Amino acid sequence: MKVFPPEKIRNVALVGHGGAGKTTLAEALAHRAGAISRPGRVEDLNTVSDFEPEEHKHRMSVSVSVIPIEWDGYKINILDCPGYADFTPEAVGALSVADLAVFVVSAVEGVEVQTELLWKAAAKAGIPRLVFVNKLDRERASFERTLAQLQEVFGAGIAPLELPIGEESAFRGVADLLSDTAITYEAGKASVGEIPDDMAGQEHSVHDALVEGIVVADDELMERYLEGEVPSVATLEATLAHGVSGAQVFPVLCGSAAKAVAVDRLAAFICEIGPSPLDRRPVEVDAGGSPTTVPPSAEGPPLAVVWKTVVDRHVGKISLLHVLSGSINADAVLVDSRTRTEQRLHSLFALRGKEQVPVERLVLGDIGAVAKLPDVRTGDTLAPKGTPVSVTAPPPGEPALAVGIRPKSKGDDDKLMTALHRLQDEDPTLRVHRDDETHQTLLGGTGETHLAIVAERLARKFGVEVVTEPVVVPYRETVGVSSEAEGRYKKQTGGHGQFGVANIRLSPRARGEGFEFVDEIVGGAIPRQYIPAVQKGIEEAMASGGVHGWPVVDVSVTLFDGKYHPVDSSEMSFKMAGALAFREATEKATPVLLEPISRVEVTVPPAQQGDVMGDLNSRRGKVAHADTDEDGNPVITALVPTSEILRYAVDLRSITAGRGRFIATHDHYDVLPSHLWASVSRPSKAPA
């Protein structure tokens, strides 16, 4: 693949709700550009973009695919992004390297939730946006209805540049509002003609509104327009390009990806009015502890960020690069700013789906890949030697859902952990944690589908079949009343025996006060050197579990009496005596189960606030207060038993149609109602 200058490069992310036709559009663009011989179909499992077996099985994109194409002297790097909610972080990652986000919206379903959420993400990052209304050839498709939704949800910046000619199965082309011409398609070939008589009035009305919307952004042009001067198409396009680059105007195009209607016009608009890498804002970086910015300069020092990692079972790790400054040649030696190690970039290539296309050089703004950089991670910055510059990147969000995971075959524990860590290289949203108390390996992710696909990849890529299970909630125990007990440890096995007696008083403490040990021994009932052993025995008994098997907390133990033998007593005998006394005292002191309580912050649309608060109450939650975020959405803070929110990510998505989000953190322990004790299983013990 030849090298294009930065002003001729367009990095475009296809984003939107699942099922809107993003992958079909990517295939149509690649085919019209001559990059592939024929467009694949999602239904036939033969698309360039969706090539992973998991994508075939679930009939959806689960990761970003890069498809570079050449169009009329330009290079367009198409980033085909997943639309399912579980894989939103993939789409957000692609937006970080895109210069233009093309929102693909179905003319049948209209504006859906993932489109709204990704639009907010793009707006927050200041990324220029364009809308392609797709599926106009389908039954129940309506451009007018979809356009009205776009204007209602996203505001006055929405600017239609085209109108469809024909409806549903009769859809055959588009009316260009800038040039007042009609472009119709037959057998994949376009022809230009006059606007049909039956839509001439509507076209002229929308044309005038579009021109006014464009010229208002330029004072001089607006003045000439008011004086009666009609701007040329070239002038309108230049002014429009400026508005698009500034993320103030959001053009709307339309067509059918499946029938390849107006797909060529989308590619042309991307090249003509889409921003290039030279139009990007300076990148925020950390230069040896001092924040600064790096402008997008083709002549600057070579600087690239690893924005995505792909783990291939045979090739190994493939690092996808986005060049932020200068250019990078094959065999270049750059320094990983995180590890301070030199990395030689052997052969550079571009990915087209899973195909590797060799390239000699990556210039400013281009997207490419390099293999066999085992120590390089997603988010790492590659900079020249002696230039400790690292790109400031937001950390991946906290997991919304977790499951316990274990290998199906015994003895594969080490193999499983190695595989999980390699998948984390590919997917930074994964969290792996070993809970030493519940003896579970916990796998956290964005949702059920995400975690299911991780399990499938473990089996396919690394040969580790796994079993998933519910997360074990770590309960605690305490006591409700005071009690006393005597622990007597006596053992005679010939020669020196073991003898120790400890008398203790056990009392409850307030939640969160922890353990207290009080020494009230007088008169040498127990020699001083053995008292620490009594305390140690009690602490070990607390940790090993009370009556219900869970660790005991928030108690005070007073050692007030005991007996010893001058020959047979030892630290071991008093340690055992302390443990025996504690266990007996616990049984007599009305044991109480404590459950963990999480602090939950839920952000929801205003319309669902009541439903969410009612749901939290049904989970034994206590709403602390409600606030609003910067967008005016309610933020509900509540204290909820952890056991009640293990699958809250799934339930909240259902209640809010995917618009709600939450953060949960451990807050404290509180008494579990006695009628729920039977539902709590004893904890499993660590394997020997």
pLDDT per position as a tens digit, 382-402? 999 988 789 987 777 788 999
Residue with tokens 């291939």: 312
Report pLDDT for 687. Answer: 53
459 has pLDDT over 90:
yes
Is 26 within 8 Å of 65 (Cβ atoms)?
Answer: yes
Query: Which are the contacts of 641, defined by CB distance < 8 A and separation ≥ 6?
Result: 595, 596, 597, 598, 619, 620, 621, 670, 672
Report pLDDT for 452. Answer: 95
1 has pLDDT over 80:
no
Secondary structure (H, E, C), 479-527 = ECCCEEEEEEEEECCCCCCEEEEEEEEEEECCCCCCCEEEECCCCCCCC
The single-letter code of the amino acid at 618 is S
Q: How confident is the model at residue 229 (pLDDT cuts 50, 70, 90)?
A: confident
Identify which of 487, 490, 666, 500 has the alpha carbon closest to the alpha carbon of residue 588. Answer: 487
Token representation of residue 378: 């997603």
Report pLDDT for 631. Answer: 83
Is 41 within 8 Å of 105 (Cβ atoms)?
Answer: no
Is 576 within 8 Å of 501 (Cβ atoms)?
Answer: no
111 has pLDDT over 80:
yes
Q: How confident is the model at residue 494 (pLDDT cuts 50, 70, 90)?
A: low
CA distance 608 to 576: 57
Helix (H, G, I), strand (E, B) or coil at 283: strand
Report pLDDT for 533. Answer: 97
pTM: 0.90
The phi and psi torsions of 307 (rounded to 5 degrees) equal: -95, -15
Residue with tokens 């309580």: 597
pLDDT tens-digit series, residues 335-361: 999 999 999 998 899 999 989 999 999
Is 585 within 8 Å of 504 (Cβ atoms)?
Answer: yes
Is 33 within 8 Å of 118 (Cβ atoms)?
Answer: no
Highest mean pLDDT (candidates 16-20, 41-45, 200-204, 396-400) = 16-20
In the DSSP assignment, the letter for residue 600 is E
Token representation of residue 390: 């690292």
Q: What is the mean pLDDT of residues 320-324?
A: 97
Report pLDDT for 639. Answer: 97
Report pLDDT for 349. Answer: 95
Q: Determine how many CB atoms are found less than 10 A away from the CB of residue 510.
A: 7
- Identify the residue with better confidence: 579 or 210: 579
429-to-58, 346, 395, 444, 447 alpha-carbon distances in Å = 20, 28, 9, 8, 11
**Three-point CA angle 271, 263, 177, nearest 5°:** 75
215-to-250, 421, 434, 450, 578 alpha-carbon distances in Å = 14, 54, 60, 46, 86
Q: What is the mean pLDDT of residues 28-49?
A: 90
Task: Give the mean pLDDT of the chain.
Answer: 93
The phi and psi torsions of 350 (rounded to 5 degrees) equal: -105, 145
Q: What is the mean pLDDT of residues 646-667?
A: 94
Residue 13: Cβ-neighbour burial (10 angstroms; 0-12, 13-18, 19+): buried
Report pLDDT for 665. Answer: 93
Q: Which of 407-411, 541-545, 681-685 has the lowest mean pLDDT?
A: 681-685
158 has pLDDT over 50:
yes
Q: How confident is the model at residue 686 (pLDDT cuts 50, 70, 90)?
A: low
pLDDT tens-digit series, residues 233-291: 888 889 899 999 999 899 999 999 999 999 999 999 999 999 999 999 999 998 878 88
Helix (H, G, I), strand (E, B) or coil at 18: coil
Residue 225: how many CA atoms within 13 Å on its side-chain side? 19
- Domains of the chain are 6-172+244-279 (3.40.50.300), 283-391 (2.40.30.10), 401-469 (3.30.70.870), 476-589 (3.30.230.10), 593-679 (3.30.70.240)
Q: Determine how many CB atoms are found less than 10 A away from the CB of residue 117.
A: 19
Catalogue the E-assigned strands of 337-482.
Answer: 341-345, 348-352, 355-358, 361-363, 367-371, 381-383, 389-391, 401-407, 431-435, 440-445, 466-469, 476-479
Q: What is the mean pLDDT of residues 121-139?
A: 96
Is 292 within 8 Å of 378 (Cβ atoms)?
Answer: no
Q: How confident is the model at residue 84 (pLDDT cuts 50, 70, 90)?
A: very high
CA distance 496 to 516: 33
Q: What is the mean pLDDT of residues 112-135?
A: 96
Report pLDDT for 207. Answer: 85
Token representation of residue 200: 């001439």
